Amino acid sequence: MARRPMDDPAPPRRSDRVAATRGIILSTAERLMAEHGVYAVSNRQIGEAAGQGNTAAVGYHFGTKQDLVREIVRRHSEDVERRRRELVAAADGSPRLAAWVGCIVRPTTDHLEALGSPTWFARFGAQVMTDPALRPIMLEVFASSPSLRRAVEGLRACLPDLSPAVLAERNDMMRQLIVHMTAERERALADGTPTPRSSWGEAATGLVDVVTGIWLAPVTPGPTGQV
């Protein structure tokens, strides 16, 4: 049996090849879904764009479309969680509402900035969050974040007395703004069109200002006096 020369590089292990293939598929799926919609893109199209000769490669590696979406979200959530832990530690004990809003906004914008350009995760997230069947996947991954729960606790400790209905309404407003404003900025950057802010950091500052204003806005009583 012929021996491999000592200076020849060792062939990649199967586990390394599998990991590389999964990474290529995830990146390709994220890009195509961000640009065209989650269900507008088939597994076959993803596999072909990822350079996979086997048309069943996506299903083999990730199972259902829901499983694929979950893996894309998890792929980004680790870095977002790390960044949020650092911000929460820095904000610990702060009475400033904006500091806690920043713990919710900035981990995602900082992550997008660190990815370089172009990115697709913000637009992918917007696609997922507007799909009733897929939205719970995104909420499940991020709702399991200990640092996010701590940031929400810190935020609520800074608020005036608000009814559960107003809390729920404004929480939804905050989530919608973060998801869709980051997606719009990402789309503008990809298209080369002007953006109101020159960096992701400045965009985050604008979002923090607006979200803080939403939480502190007056509450107008309804016809029955309820809020």
Task: Please state the pTM of the whole predicted model.
Answer: 0.87
Q: pLDDT of 197-212, one tens digit each? A: 999 999 999 999 999 9
CATH number at residue 34: 1.10.10
200 close to 110: Cβ distance less than 8 angstroms? yes
Instruction: Give the total number of structural domains in the chain.
Output: 2
Q: CA–CA separation, 98 vs 127, rounded Å?
A: 28
The domain containing residue 204 runs over which residues?
66-216
Residue with tokens 């979406």: 69
Q: How far apart are CA 31 and CA 81, in angstroms?
A: 22
Residue 42 lies in a domain: yes
Q: Mean pLDDT for the chain?
A: 91
Residue 63 phi/psi, 5° resolution? Answer: 80, -125
pLDDT for residue 225: 54
Residue 14 confidence (pLDDT): 62
Residue 221 in domain: no
At 20-60, the pLDDT tens digits run 889 999 999 999 999 999 999 999 999 999 898 777 888 88
Average pLDDT on 65-93 reads: 95
Burial-class residue 104 by CB neighbours within 10 Å (0-12, 13-18, 19+). buried
Residue at 2 is within a domain: no
Instruction: Confirm whether 3 is domain-assigned.
Output: no
